[in-house]
């Protein structure tokens, strides 16, 4: 049975202990969890806010990496990956709940050059419970790129694709254009081969993470999938999950990503859009508009 290494970049995360305990409680196979405390050490106030009953958190197969000064999310993920011992890697935000047996379900449907993303549900973190699924808030199985001309300058952004979720509800393993970066799963070999997570150009920011992973994978002949046989629930407390980003630096990251993928890798990008066509809000003459 192959081992899974779960990488958790954490910056001031009050629900990190509950996330870690949930991982160990729900895993069916062997896992290790590596938490990067990026620029902080939990103080007594933080411990009492989140999980006073489970602090201090100390157990086998749990490792902390502590940086007194923040190194950024991308570098934190890479630091955890460098010491990971698993054949599979999963990155997870520090405020998530998992389905029972999530690890084996993800391993069962993930080839060497694939990236797998579980079905995403919504977490009521304060009560550590799932929020109900409703018609207005269905599971998030698919995301797609927003038409770049919606932004000035042009940018790549993912957004939930509820229409596709409804249309393809019975397809349990399916192609995924892009996703939210809060959870992803892959073979360690794919992570190493693709050079995730890149620092140059992205300025080490907690932005364009899913865009880098999905586009690198698709354009190199791999596949990104949604796996509806399992799920994770995510607490969305803020756009950048504890990381402050100066607007000027963030815009430079977006500009680099768009130039790199949509312009420099134009042929591959066009093939990907055509693979998932039609896309909501994209005009039929999108190629002429983007590449005029």
Question: Binning pLDDT at 50, 70 and 90, where does residue 237 land?
Answer: low
What's the pLDDT at 59? 85
Instruction: Give the chain's domains with CATH numbers.
Output: 4-290 (3.90.550.10)
Inter-residue contact 221 to 248 (CB < 8 Å)? no
Strand ranges in the chain using DSSP code E only, listed in sequence order: 4-10, 31-38, 62-67, 88-92, 96-98, 114-124, 129-130, 143-145, 158-160, 173-175, 183-187, 223-234
Q: Phi and psi of 105, rounded to 5°? A: -65, -40
pLDDT digits (tens, 9 = 90+) for 38-52: 988 776 666 565 555
The pLDDT of residue 2 is above 90? no
pTM value? 0.93
What's the pLDDT at 202? 87
What's the pLDDT at 247? 76
10 Å Cβ neighbour count for 277? Answer: 10
For residue 132 the two structure tokens come to 């109900």
The pLDDT of residue 240 is above 50? no
pLDDT digits (tens, 9 = 90+) for 153-208: 999 999 999 999 999 999 999 999 999 999 999 999 999 999 999 998 887 777 89
């Amino acid at each position: 049975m192959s081992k899974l290494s779960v990488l958790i970049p954490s910056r001031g995360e009050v629900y990190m202990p509950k996330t870690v305990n949930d991982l160990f409680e729900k895993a069916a196979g062997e896992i290790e969890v590596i938490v990067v405390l990026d620029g902080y050490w939990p103080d007594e106030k933080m411990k009492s806010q989140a999980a006073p009953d489970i602090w201090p958190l100390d157990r086998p197969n749990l490792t902390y990496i502590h940086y007194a000064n923040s190194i950024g999310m991308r570098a934190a993920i890479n630091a955890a990956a460098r010491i990971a011992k698993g054949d599979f890697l999963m990155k997870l935000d520090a405020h998530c709940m998992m389905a029972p047996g999530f690890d084996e379900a993800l391993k069962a449907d993930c080839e060497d050059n694939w990236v797998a993303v579980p079905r995403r549900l919504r977490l009521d973190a304060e009560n550590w419970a799932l929020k109900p699924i409703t018609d207005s808030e269905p599971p998030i199985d698919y995301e797609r790129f927003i038409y770049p001309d919606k932004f000035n300058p042009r940018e790549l952004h993912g957004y939930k694709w509820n229409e596709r979720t409804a249309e393809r509800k019975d397809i349990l393993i399916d192609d995924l254009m892009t996703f939210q970066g809060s959870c992803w799963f892959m073979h360690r070999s794919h992570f190493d081969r693709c050079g995730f997570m890149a620092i140059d150009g992205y300025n080490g920011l907690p932005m364009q993470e899913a865009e880098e992973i999905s586009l690198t994978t698709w354009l190199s002949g791999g596949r990104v999938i949604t796996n509806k046989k399992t799920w994770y629930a995510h607490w969305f407390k803020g756009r950048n999950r504890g990381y402050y980003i100066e607007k000027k630096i963030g815009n430079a990251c977006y500009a680099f990503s768009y130039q790199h993928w949509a312009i420099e890798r134009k042929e591959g990008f066009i093939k990907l859009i055509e693979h998932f066509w039609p896309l909501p809000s994209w005009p039929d003459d999108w190629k002429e508009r983007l590449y005029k």
